[in-house]
Structure 1
Amino acid sequence: MPKPIGAIDHLLTYVHELEGAASLFRRMGFTLSPVSHIAPMGISNHLVLMTPVANGFANFIELMAVQDQTKLPAPMAKILSGPQAVKSMVLGAADINTAHAAILKQGFEASPPVHVKREWIIGPSESVFPEFDVILPFPAPLPFNCCRYFNVDLYLRPEWLVHANTAKGIRAVLAVAKEPVALLKTFAAMFDEPLTEDGDRAHVVSGGIELVVLSSDAAWKKFGVDRKSAGEVGYLGYVIEVESLDALQSSLSAGGIAYRRDGASIYIDPAVGLGNLMIFREKSGF
């Protein structure tokens, strides 16, 4: 029987100015999808699409900006505000109603899923029509929402999945919380996966992607991230697997991107990474 949640699918990243954010990611060596203007909701986005780990799902970073505040749906207005950063982890489900029931079971007041089909103009005289069910963001200590694709192949065009920096995909989502285990128990129950506690951090896996939660003190000791900016509960960043750290380093240097290399990892700090700690490794996982 399929699990209620099939995978950690993508990360909704709020940015103040979309084309500036897109330029930053291109200078990092990423390929971006064409801009998409979702006028009825007052938003626009670019996608940084990578190769999925689990069949039927995607794997990407979504850069989203507000174009018309007056059109924003209420659930999105709260998410798309404040500092730039990952604002919601979007989970993938094979059956949106099963996922919704699992979310409600954990005590969240999530609105019923809505069905969406829209035009996405991807080139001159070329449109595609993504179709999905979505549970919009709702109040939660660590915000998340959920989607079910009907045509995920539209997001998996080969030319969008190849990156000069050799990025393969998101392998871990990082968050901080005062009590990591308590926070992760909810996700472990929704994922129907075991929770693993490892000293000052805890983690659970969904669809091959880890959700790792650390205490803010642990984040400071391990990454040098300012505990004040991390806050008591919130997203810290993510880990991306690359084929070659040397190729990544060349892309970052060519793009004038500040980074630091420490052994088997390259780090882009939140001040550069749109509020997110970006960690790149050649091996999967955290």
Structure 2
Amino acid sequence: MTSSATARIDHLLTYVPDLEAAADLFQRMGFHLSPLSRIEQMGVANRMALMRPQSPGQASYIELMSPYEPARLPPPLQPVLSGGPGIGSMVLVADDVSGFRTSVLAQGFECAPPAHVTREWKIPGEPSVFPEFDVMLPVEAPLRFNACKYYNLHLYLREDWTAHPNGAIRLLKVLAVADDPADLDFFASLFGQPGVVQADGSLLLPSGEIALEIIPADGLKSRFGIEPDGRAPGYLGYEIEVESLQKLRTQLQAGGVPFQDGDGLISITPDTGLGNLILFSEAA
């Protein structure tokens, strides 16, 4: 498959019912968030934990999003930004969003043609900037996803926004759960890279520098101490690479954020992590 027909993981759109409370949690975890931004034509507001991608042509971040005027939400975003908190959509970056849409249609999913969007991003104390991108709205799949292409990526790579007190470097992995991970191997075609079945039965799907790991539902308890609770198929959370686990521990303790420590990982449970299991690993 040609590169124009594939895409790679760029960031996660996470739904939070209370954006202010979510921002407070992330700041107590030691993240430096982008200023509040409203996308007025859609009636949504966001803040982002922007990190430092290791590959050109993409970003790496967690987007906290909440509707402030639900009546304006486009229909494809209504199921993404409702219900319980958690990952609403895995956002991919593509060199050619229209070409990638062809691949999505070939997998049997329905999706509208991409739209070209420019919006004003008001930054306190600075002139407005105008992010421009092609975007394909979320696809209703067992794991919801969508795709974009940036025209001014540098806006998401500001050094003052990508440096975090907790030492966060980049998004490393998206975690999901399925009764049978093989049912979701269509992502291998969309990513243009073969998946790898691991010893515990999970399916690791490389996607550029960020991987999607799909874990068997019957293995959640033994691996993470989490009951499936009807999650499958669905998103479980994500893993972030940090400079130092000790630096992160200090931030979490200072912020009063409960965490678990073991097996070379620090974890925050879904009850604390806005519906997401958040893992942190130390850079090699």
TM-score range, shorter chain: over 0.9
Question: What SS class does the counterpart of residue 76 from structure 2 fall into?
Answer: helix
Question: What SS class does the counterpart of residue 136 from structure 1 fall into?
Answer: strand
Match in the other structure for 2:67: 66
- Structure-2-length-normalised TM-score: 0.97
Q: Does 1:77 align with 2:61?
A: no
CA contact (8 A) 1:7 1:54 kept: no
CA contact (8 A) 2:7 2:100 kept: no
Match in the other structure for 2:162: 161
- Give the deviation of 1:231 after TM superposition: 1.5
Q: Distance in 2 between matches of 1:171 and 1:124?
A: 32
Q: Distance in 2 between matches of 1:182 and 1:215?
A: 11
Match in the other structure for 1:53: 54
Match in the other structure for 1:178: 179
Change (3 A) 1:201 1:147: same
Q: 1:196-211 to 2 correspondence within 5 Å?
A: 196-199=196-199, 200-211=201-212
CA contact (8 A) 1:3 1:191 kept: no
Per-residue CA distance 1:117-165 (angstroms, 9 max, x = gap): 0000112242110000000012111100000111111110000110000
Q: Distance in 1 between matches of 2:270 and 2:19?
A: 17
- Give the deviation of 1:234 after TM superposition: 0.5
- Give the deviation of 1:221 after TM superposition: 1.1
Worse overlay, 46-55 or 20-29: 46-55
Q: Does 1:143 align with 2:144?
A: yes
CA contact (8 A) 2:179 2:218 kept: no
Match in the other structure for 1:11: 12
CA contact (8 A) 1:3 1:192 kept: no
Q: Distance in 2 between matches of 1:203 and 1:218?
A: 15
Per-residue CA distance 1:208-229 (angstroms, 9 max, x = gap): 111000111112210011211x
Worse overlay, 9-18 or 200-209: 200-209
Give the letter aligned to residue 220 of structure 1: K
- Give the deviation of 1:277 after TM superposition: 0.3
Give the letter aligned to residue 236 of structure 2: L
Per-residue CA distance 1:151-194 (angstroms, 9 max, x = gap): 111110000110000000110100000110121x2100111101
Q: Distance in 2 between matches of 1:103 and 1:64?
A: 25
- Give the deviation of 1:45 after TM superposition: 0.2
- Give the deviation of 1:76 after TM superposition: 0.3
Question: What SS class does the counterpart of residue 49 from structure 2 fall into?
Answer: strand
Give the letter aligned to residue 187 of structure 2: F
Give the letter aligned to residue 94 of structure 2: A
User: What 5-or-longer segments of structure 1 have no aligned partner?
Assistant: none
> Taking every aligned residue pair, what percent have the same amino acid on both sides?
46
Q: Number of matched residues?
A: 282
Match in the other structure for 1:231: 231
Match in the other structure for 2:123: 122
Q: Distance in 1 between matches of 2:280 and 2:220?
A: 16
Question: What SS class does the counterpart of residue 23 from structure 2 fall into?
Answer: helix
- Give the deviation of 1:3 after TM superposition: 5.2
Match in the other structure for 2:24: 23
- Structure-1-length-normalised TM-score: 0.96
Over the aligned positions, Cα root-mean-square deviation in angstroms equals 1.2
Question: What SS class does the counterpart of residue 279 from structure 1 fall into?
Answer: strand
Give the letter aligned to residue 153 of structure 1: H
Worse overlay, 126-135 or 2-11: 2-11
